[in-house]
Amino acid sequence: MSIIMDKDAVFHLQTRKTSYILAVVGGKYLAHVYWGGRIRTPRSEDALLKRWSCFDVMEPDCGEGIFSLDYLCREYPTGESDYRVPSLLVEFEDGSRETDFLYEKAEVLEGRKKIAGMPCLYTVSEDEAQTLHITLKDEVGGLRLHLYYTVMDELDVITRYVRLENTGDKKVRVNRILSCSVDYEGSDYEWITLPGAWGRERHIQRSRVTRGENRIGSSRGASSHQMNPFMALLSPGAGEQAGEVYGFNLVYSGNFQAGTQVDQVGKLRAFMGMGNEDFSWLLESGESFETPEVVMVYTKEGLGEMSRIFHRVYKKRLLRGVYKEGKRPILVNNWEATYFDFNEEKIVTLAKEAADLGIELLVLDDGWFGKREDDTSSLGDWKVNLNKLPGGLKALADEIEKNGVKFGLWFEPEMVSPDSELYRKHPDWCIHAPGRRRSLCRNQLTLDLSRGDVRQYIIKCLDDILSNVKISYVKWDMNRHMSNLGSAMLPPERQRELPHRYMLGLYEIMEEITQKHPDVLFESCSGGGGRFDAGMLYYMPQIWTSDDTDPIERLYIQYGTSLVYPVSAMGAHVSAIPNHQSGRKTPLATRGCVAMSGNLGYELDLGAFTEEEKKEVKQQVQEYKRIRELIFQGELYRLASPFEGNFAAWMICWEDRSGFVASVVQMQAEVNGSIHRVKMEGLDAEADYIDLDTKEIYHGDELMEIGLVVDLHGDYQSRMWKFSRLSREGEQQWQY
């Protein structure tokens, strides 16, 4: 049993290694008691009520005496006399904003409840999870707040979301509704976030948590390149292998807010949820509003273990469909090979070259539709451009398949070009504020997905093509952030609902399309990794990590991304040199090594390879086919951080430790430098492992304690090792 309810209203949530405890204090207020390493039984916690000072606003009538909400570690802060960051802000029709949410009841549910219209972790059988459902009630306002805690004990995670129910007879305006808030008694923590920019996504930022507020978020209508909906709190000195870490990740792809606040007495509040300052939602009598889910991970075993827990749960209970476990094809994408300048012949030639190298899928990127010759037109007109592809899509797909390569196609369904049939016919279908300018980004506007007619149009366009053409893969791109907010369909009092209604609309479209076409592999993209989040992963098991394909840049991007998201979710391509984004020249082997730690693809003119390079690529492709199951299903250990030194190193190991692949990249050559070693992790110390290339045998403990020598000569050099464990009889246990 993972949820224990005490009669004194103490709730103890237990996972394999953690405990999370909340309690009703003074018979009324829901308090946070503890989150950390697993304990057996908590004691009841009225001690929490005792603190206050003479300058505090007191709560009346609370059992034994007076106390201040401002001192309480609260489970879901709703303001009142607590001056710290609230999770909920509402406004009643009479203009009042005061609430008083008191404990009403609690129940334990087997399994979990789905969140209406939104992505969330799932269970395959009820016994995988238990859910604590606590109801708080604001009598005067006619509101009920439902707090849901799903405990997946085997996977070691707890998730939270809330539902606000309007049981009164008047409308209520909700101005803020977060998914979680956690109060810590002390504030001696550091925090990690993942800021970035286009081409430089999810770099790691670590700093001390300080007095006052530290906030992150997005107001761009997408989770964004600029900040990821993830944060971690760490005990001082916590590192990859040891130390307390609390990780929070929001399963949502739109605007979000998260942060920390250290109060007057040094307590810390951490919070996370959807929406920004502009969010507002009108809740009619009888209606409910549900927030997205936050996945929460605690471990004492450092950042590495936090990541492995996130990866495990996402691979097992977030990704869906036939590709969730792997089996993803090696692809070639024509974008950096041709950009908009292609025709049927070029694409078929690329497919033939791909087949020759063992590549399994060709992706036709942007430019195949309408009259699109550059990025100034045709988004929304999802009809093939017969000037470029006179035989049409069907003939092209058949021709490509004939060459033994599968066919994939790029779409940007959420957008419209002002120069398009669609825009001329429906100028009000885009997001815009009445009578004001419509600012362009990459010459395009965002379709208003809060509208049912727009959603139906998009679904029909995609469905028609996917039903009539043999398409095995779709790249779902999205290349601008929202601006000039406004919807022609929403009434004035609901205009600020647009960003969230857009996300609900997007999720509805993606659910319908992916369910209708379960055999298609969908890869999400947003100008590279501008929407790399758990919300998108629920519909599409892989995401284009960044438009920056330089392997050295990718070391930082993929390392940062791996804090939360599994390598199986990351699209990673070998591209040409000089690299189109950075101008850097790197060895083909290093480009391969970095891309092989994700979903391997090639994105360059394959015909431009020399014979020698072709041989090398063939070997990479062959090698990847042999290790990809491990890449998709294995566990990641980060061994050396590019943010901290001249080397980046990582390994991916089977969960049963029977084999692993380890990689290292040297950023800059060192002349006459010291000896460098990479120490492995997570191996069977007592067992022997064989290097599958050199056949040399090492002890597991030796690999972990002494490590392997990194002997690389030159800038941007790399090395990949493959090891299998040996049985006592000397048999290789990973059949590579």
For residue 120, give the H/E element and its range.
none
Q: Tell me the per-residue interface mask from 509 to 538 with ligand DGJ, x by CB under 6 A, - otherwise.
A: ----------------x-xx----------
Residue 563 to residue 541: CA distance in whole angstroms: 17
List the one residue from 335, 407, 476, 650 that touches ligand DGJ (CB under 6 A).
335
Residue 477 and residue 410 in contact, taking contact as beta carbons nearer than 8 Å: yes
Residue 6 and residue 12 in contact, taking contact as beta carbons nearer than 8 Å: yes
Q: Tell me the per-residue interface mask from 646 to 685 with ligand DGJ, x by CB under 6 A, - otherwise.
A: ----------------------------------------
For residue 429, give the H/E element and its range.
none
Minimum CB–partner distance for residue 461 and ligand DGJ (Å): 17
The Cβ-side half-sphere exposure at 244, using a 13 Å CA radius, reads 11
- Give the binding-site size for ligand DGJ (rule: CB under 6 A): 11
Minimum CB–partner distance for residue 529 and ligand DGJ (Å): 8
List the one residue from 59, 75, 365, 414 that touches ligand DGJ (CB under 6 A).
365
Nearer to ligand DGJ, 528 or 560 (CB): 528
Minimum CB–partner distance for residue 548 and ligand DGJ (Å): 10
Question: Contacts with ligand DGJ in 685-714 (CB under 6 A)?
Answer: none
Question: Contacts with ligand DGJ in 533-562 (CB under 6 A)?
Answer: 544, 547
- Alpha helix (H) ranges present in 562-699? 588-595, 611-633
DSSP string for 62-108: ETTEEE-GGGS-BSS---TT--S--SEEEEETTS------EEEEEEE
Residue 269 and residue 260 in contact, taking contact as beta carbons nearer than 8 Å: yes
Nearer to ligand DGJ, 364 or 431 (CB): 364
Nearer to ligand DGJ, 478 or 593 (CB): 478
Q: Tell me the per-residue interface mask from 423 to 462 with ligand DGJ, x by CB under 6 A, - otherwise.
A: ----------------------------------------
Furthest CA-CA distance within the chain: 84
Minimum CB–partner distance for residue 367 and ligand DGJ (Å): 8
Q: Is the peptide bond before 578 cis (omega within 30 degrees of 0)?
A: yes
Nearer to ligand DGJ, 378 or 479 (CB): 479
Whether 477 is a known active-site residue: answer yes
Residue 333 and residue 547 in contact, taking contact as beta carbons nearer than 8 Å: no
Gyration radius of the chain's alpha carbons: 27
Q: How many CB atoms lie within 10 A of CB 356?
A: 15
Nearer to ligand DGJ, 218 or 549 (CB): 549
> Which residue of the set 477, 548, 550, 684 is catalytic?
477
List the one residue from 59, 240, 366, 553 that touches ligand DGJ (CB under 6 A).
366
Residue 695 to residue 48: CA distance in whole angstroms: 61
> Which residue of the set 70, 183, 381, 547 is catalytic?
547
Whether 94 is a known active-site residue: answer no
Place of tokens 């093939």: 384
Minimum CB–partner distance for residue 365 and ligand DGJ (Å): 5
Place of tokens 């060192």: 670
- The verdict on 82 binding ligand DGJ (CB under 6 A) reads no
Nearer to ligand DGJ, 45 or 547 (CB): 547
Place of tokens 């204090």: 25
Rounded to 5°, angle at Cα 580 from 355 and 545: 70
CB-closest chain residue to ligand DGJ: 366
Question: Hey, is 524 helix, strand or coil?
Answer: strand
Q: Tell me the per-residue interface mask from 384 to 423 with ligand DGJ, x by CB under 6 A, - otherwise.
A: --------------------------x-------------
Nearer to ligand DGJ, 408 or 682 (CB): 408
Question: Contacts with ligand DGJ in 471-510 (CB under 6 A)?
Answer: 477, 479
Give one word for 459, left, alpha or beta, with left for phi > 0 and alpha for psi -120 to 50. Answer: alpha
| 39 DSSP β-pair partners | none
Nearer to ligand DGJ, 279 or 410 (CB): 410
Strands of 519-569 (E only): list them: 521-524, 542-544
Catalytic residues: 477, 547
Residues that bind ligand DGJ (CB under 6 A): 335, 365-366, 410, 477, 479, 525, 527-528, 544, 547
